[in-house]
């Protein structure tokens, strides 16, 4: 993300509601069957269709079709927020000009921050491993009538700043004119070990835009009005409608695609104006068309802090935000397509977040990128290779044949299996698939790469699928495929906690820069007064009796999963010998969007002193069964009496979905 306007609170821009909210009527998307006579055949048919597409399973009706959407949620590292205020590293709001006005501090590159590491891929997707394809959607009749300009860009009658053709020209130009900005992104890859900070040459890297640019299509969806204040599920539904409109209805067709849902002037998508903490964000959703990566892009000139005339003067400079923020979200999507499964640093930042709003003219600062379609204001992005914010890097080209990551997964024995392996090839259209390690009863189709069949075998199987093309190229993907009679099935979930071991150190001013939200300094610490369980860092609650200590982090309960579990290690070190519980630690679960408490999960006191760290594991499923798709806050709060003789020490937290 980038930053916040002056005076706006720092908060993780995570959304609640999703799967539960899908049961509600979406503006412009639901019918009015209840108004028809009870025995009307059309009413009965609609009722049958509704029962066959339950909202609880993520089904919504959009543009006359049923589609199963299970939207994921943007997280702090997936948002772009307007730059100003202390959280942006500024003493005040920067002026929309090349250099800060007198009295304003510059935003400078920080080369002391850590490199990003690979998170392991989510739902078999880590990065955009083929040439990126961007589809732009102009959502709603509020855009007015569509036309064309001399360059073939779509224009709209209710677009006073002429933002639409600028936005299209930017995506059309990517990859042209020796575009080394896009080259920075190609250093990142997938199909490497979780935690890797570099990529071997033969790994599937982020693709470079094909000749003709990244823009793959434009849809002016102006048949009806878009919701004035669209919710995240409505944005996800529009994305799914766009996938259908463009004919991208399979996982393979959406593998290297991102959708940019763009709203008209005066619209307020996802409470954009009320929250006032973000300019754009990207996320992904599970759908019956595969996983869909998408960005919500409001009418940016409605907020002067979202790039308006940020480095360029005049009418064209008013649109600087569409390339600064459009480039920010594009870069983060291709390197972290199914957030948070791609490349992220220990503090939870993506490549765009680490380099946002750096002052033009300074190292790593904003600059005008010269493309074949014009000059566009862009920010730099983080380069692990160069360990800095960079706008230039040699293109790391993929080998001609690329096979996408396959997640480790489980399935029930005896049930039908249909699992696609996705490959792309720039050298040959003739592909042949083979597999080793599959259990009896399963086989890969040599022409399509789809694994099908049934098996009664149980346990894990080490599977390798190899793809060969007509030009003699070969590539493989390897994954574990487990078959068990009980349990949760599908891709194995990745760690959802950012900085689970409290290893991100505080900065020179004692501030913690990671995703945990401590109530004060010293809670996340490497102090030798106590010991961590592993590593150097741990959390220490119960410093004094003067005030309560708290520590929290927002975590997504991604729809499509059915179980959630929290675990951590706790050491209660107490010198309080009172026979009653005086010093306490409470663990609660809150809904981040509403702020309401879901439940108090567990409490401890000075009476629960331990001889060291002991494991704690809590099944959160009963508490979030109706919350899957929302964001929950895991919050620890300590209360001390007397001279604060009890230390509640935490380490090695984990939040997993399955």
Predicted confidence (pLDDT) per residue in 568-607, tens digit = 999 999 999 999 999 999 999 998 766 789 999 999 999 9
What are the tens digits of pLDDT across the range 258-299?
A: 999 999 999 999 888 887 778 999 988 888 898 999 999 999
Q: Which residue has the higher pLDDT, 204 or 429?
A: 204
Predicted confidence (pLDDT) at residue 448 exceeds the cutoff of 90: yes
Burial zone of 343 (CB within 10 Å; 0-12 exposed, 13-18 middle, 19+ buried): buried
Across the range 296-322, mean pLDDT stands at 95
Q: Are 519 and 542 in contact (CB under 8 A)?
A: no
Q: Which CATH number do you get for residue 629? A: 2.60.120.260
Which structure tokens are listed for 609? 């002193």
Mean pLDDT along residues 54-78: 46
459 and 422 in a single domain? The answer is: yes
Question: Is the model more confident about 567 or about 43?
Answer: 567
> Which residues lie across from 378 on neighbouring strands?
367
pLDDT for res 467? 96
Report which of 554, 494, 499 is spatially closest to residue 346, judged by C-alpha positions: 499
The percent of residues in the chain predicted with pLDDT above 90, rounded, is: 67
In this structure, the answer to whether residues 358 and 442 fall within a common structural domain is no
* 41 in a structural domain: no
pLDDT at 57 over 60: no
> Tens digit of pLDDT for each residue in 327-364?
999 999 999 999 889 999 988 899 999 999 999 999 99
Residue among 527, 540, 535 nearest 501 (CA): 535
Q: Residue 477 is encoded by which pair of tokens? A: 């993907």
Judge whether 468 and 477 are in contact, CB under 8 Å.
no
Is pLDDT of 48 > 80? no
Count of domains observed in the chain: 3
Are residue 319 and residue 204 in the same domain, yes or no? yes
Give the pLDDT confidence of 461-490 residue by residue, as tens digits.
999 999 999 999 999 999 999 999 987 788
Domain identity same for 421 and 347: no
Please name the residue that has the structure tokens 């029930």: 412
Please, where are the H alpha helices in 357-407?
A: none
Considering the domain boundaries, does residue 73 fall inside one? yes
Q: 3-state SS string over 295-335?
A: EEECCHHHCCCCCCCCCCCHHHHCCHHHHHHHHHHHHHHHH
Residue keyed to tokens 């809670």: 523
Taking alpha carbons only, the member of 282, 274, 187, 190 closest to residue 232 is 282
pLDDT of residue 656: 87
- Kindly state whether residue 401 falls inside one of the protein's structural domains: no
Rounded Cα–Cα distance for residues 82 and 1 (Å) = 9
Of 233 and 495, the one with more pLDDT:
495
242: domain range? Answer: 21-34+61-390
Whether the predicted pLDDT of 644 surpasses 70 = yes
Kindly state whether residues 445 and 364 are assigned to the same domain. Answer: no
In this structure, the answer to whether residues 341 and 425 fall within a common structural domain is no
Considering 14-28, 222-236, 262-276, 637-651, the range whose residues carry the highest mean pLDDT is 637-651
Share of the chain above pLDDT 70, in %: 82
Q: What is the mean pLDDT of residues 62-72?
A: 48
Asked if residue 199 and residue 281 are part of one domain, the reply reads yes
List the CATH number of the domain containing 465. 2.60.40.10
The DSSP string of 80-148 is E----SGGGT-SSPPPSSSSPPTT-PPP---TTSPPPEE---BTTBSS--S--EEEEEEESGGG--EEE
* 425 vs 394, higher pLDDT: 394
> Is the residue at 359 inside a domain?
yes
What average pLDDT does the structure give for the chain?
Answer: 84
Residue position matching structure tokens 């998307």: 29
- Read off the pLDDT of residues 158-180 as tens digits, 9 standing for 90 and up: 999 999 999 999 999 999 999 99
Clarify whether residues 268 and 307 are in a common domain: yes
Per-residue pLDDT, 399: 92
Q: What is the pLDDT of residue 247?
A: 98
pLDDT at 86: 23
Lowest mean pLDDT among 432-436, 534-538, 623-627, 632-636: 623-627
Task: Quickly state the pLDDT bin for 11 (edges 50, 70, 90).
Answer: very low
Which among 335, 362, 390 is the end of a domain?
Answer: 390
Would you say residue 1 lies in a domain?
Answer: no
What's the confidence (pLDDT) of residue 491?
84
pLDDT higher than 70, residue 120: yes
User: Can you give the pLDDT at residue 283?
Assistant: 85
Using alpha carbons, list the distances in angstroms from residue 550 to 10, 142, 415. 16, 45, 47
**Confidence (pLDDT) at 64:** 54
* Last residue within a domain, chosen from 457, 491, 525: 491
Domain C-terminal end among 331, 358, 390: 390
* Winning range, highest mean pLDDT, from 37-51, 211-225, 424-438: 211-225
Torsion of CA 306, 361, 390, 165, to 10 degrees: 40
91 falls within a domain: yes
Whether the predicted pLDDT of 25 surpasses 70: no
CA distance 100 to 434: 59
Q: Does residue 452 form part of some domain?
A: yes
> Does residue 222 belong to any structural domain of this protein?
yes
Backbone angles phi, psi at 540, to 5 degrees: -125, 110
CB atoms within 10 A of CB 488: 14
Q: Are residues 348 and 469 in the same domain?
A: no
- The pLDDT of residue 510: 82
Q: Which residues contact 25 (CB under 8 A, 6 or more apart)?
A: none
- Say whether both 363 and 447 belong to one domain: no
pLDDT exceeds 90 at position 82: no
SS3 breakdown of the chain: % helix, strand, coil, rounded to 5? 15, 30, 55
Q: In terms of Cα–Cα distance, which of 203, 196, 130, 131 is closest to 477?
A: 203
What is the tens place of the pLDDT at every residue in 410-441?
999 999 999 999 998 888 889 999 999 999 99
Look at 30-34, 42-46, 576-580, 598-602 and tell me which has the smallest mean pLDDT.
30-34
In whole angstroms, give the CA distance from residue 338 to residue 257.
11
The token pair that represents 597 in the structure block: 């408490």
Upstream peptide bond of 340 is cis (omega within 30 degrees of 0) = yes
Q: Are residues 115 and 261 part of one domain?
A: yes
Q: Kindly state whether residues 371 and 430 are assigned to the same domain.
A: no
Q: Is 543 left (phi over 0), alpha (psi -120 to 50) or beta?
A: alpha
d(CA 590, CA 415): 38
What is the spatial distance between Cα 563 and Cα 553, in angstroms, rounded to a whole number?
Answer: 19
| For residue 34, pLDDT beyond 60 | no
């Amino acid at each position: 993300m980038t930053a916040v306007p002056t005076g706006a609170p720092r908060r993780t821009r995570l959304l609640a509601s999703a799967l539960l909210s899908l049961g509600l009527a979406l503006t412009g998307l639901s019918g009015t069957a209840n108004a028809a006579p009870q025995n009307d055949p059309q009413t009965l048919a609609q009722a049958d269709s509704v029962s066959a597409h339950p909202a609880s399973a993520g089904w919504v009706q959009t543009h006359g079709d049923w589609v199963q959407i299970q939207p994921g949620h943007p997280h702090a590292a997936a948002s772009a927020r307007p730059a100003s205020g202390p959280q942006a590293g500024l003493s005040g709001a920067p002026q929309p000009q090349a250099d800060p006005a007198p009295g304003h501090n510059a935003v400078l590159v920080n080369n002391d921050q850590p490199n990003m590491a690979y998170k392991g891929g989510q739902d078999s997707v880590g990065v955009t491993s083929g040439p990126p394809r961007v589809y732009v959607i102009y959502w709603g009749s509020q855009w007015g009538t569509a036309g064309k300009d001399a360059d073939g860009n779509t224009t709209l009658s209710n677009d006073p700043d002429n933002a639409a053709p600028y936005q299209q020209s930017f995506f059309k130009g990517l990859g042209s004119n020796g575009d080394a900005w896009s080259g920075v992104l190609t250093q990142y890859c997938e199909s490497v070990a979780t935690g890797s900070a570099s990529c071997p040459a033969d790994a599937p890297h982020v693709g470079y835009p094909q000749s003709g640019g990244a823009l793959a299509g434009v849809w002016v969806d102006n048949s009806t009005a878009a919701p004035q204040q669209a919710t995240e599920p409505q944005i996800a539904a529009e994305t799914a409608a766009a996938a259908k409109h463009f004919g991208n209805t399979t996982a393979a067709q959406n593998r290297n695609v991102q959708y940019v849902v763009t709203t008209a002037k005066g619209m307020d998508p996802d409470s954009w104006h009320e929250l006032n903490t973000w300019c754009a964000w990207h996320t992904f959703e599970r759908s019956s068309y595969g996983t869909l990566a998408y960005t919500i892009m409001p009418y940016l000139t409605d907020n002067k802090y979202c790039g308006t005339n940020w480095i360029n003067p005049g009418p064209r400079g008013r649109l600087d935000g569409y390339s600064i923020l459009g480039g920010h979200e594009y870069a983060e999507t291709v390197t972290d397509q199914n957030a948070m499964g791609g490349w992220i640093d220990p503090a939870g930042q993506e490549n765009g977040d680490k380099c946002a709003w750096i002052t033009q003219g300074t190292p790593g600062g904003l600059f005008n990128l010269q493309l074949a379609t014009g000059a566009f204001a862009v920010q730099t992005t983080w380069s692990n290779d160069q360990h800095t914010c960079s706008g230039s890097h040699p293109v790391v080209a993929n080998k001609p044949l690329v096979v996408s990551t396959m997640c480790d997964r489980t399935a029930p024995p005896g049930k039908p299996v249909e699992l696609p392996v996705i490959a792309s090839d720039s050298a040959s259209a003739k592909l042949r698939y083979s597999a080793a390690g599959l259990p009896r009863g399963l086989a890969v189709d040599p022409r399509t790469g789809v694994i099908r069949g049934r098996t009664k075998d149980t346990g894990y199987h080490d599977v390798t699928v190899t793809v060969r093309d007509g030009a003699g190229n070969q590539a493989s993907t390897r994954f574990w495929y487990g078959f068990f009679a009980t349990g949760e099935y599908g891709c194995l979930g990745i760690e959802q906690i950012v900085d689970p071991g409290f290893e991100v150190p505080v900065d020179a001013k004692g501030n913690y820069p990671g995703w945990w939200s401590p109530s004060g300094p010293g809670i996340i610490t490497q102090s030798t007064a106590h010991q961590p369980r592993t590593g150097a860092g741990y959390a220490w609650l119960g410093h004094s009796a003067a005030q309560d200590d708290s520590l929290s982090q927002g975590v997504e309960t991604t729809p499509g999963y059915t179980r959630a579990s929290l675990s951590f290690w706790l050491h209660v070190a107490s010198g309080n010998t009172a026979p009653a519980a005086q010093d306490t630690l409470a663990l609660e679960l809150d809904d981040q969007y509403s702020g309401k408490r879901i439940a108090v999960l567990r409490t401890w006191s000075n009476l629960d002193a331990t001889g060291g760290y002991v494991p704690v594991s809590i099944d959160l499923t009963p508490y979030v069964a109706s919350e899957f798709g929302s964001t929950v806050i895991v919050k620890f709060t300590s209360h001390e009496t007397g001279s604060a003789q009890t230390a509640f020490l935490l380490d090695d937290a984990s939040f997993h979905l399955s």
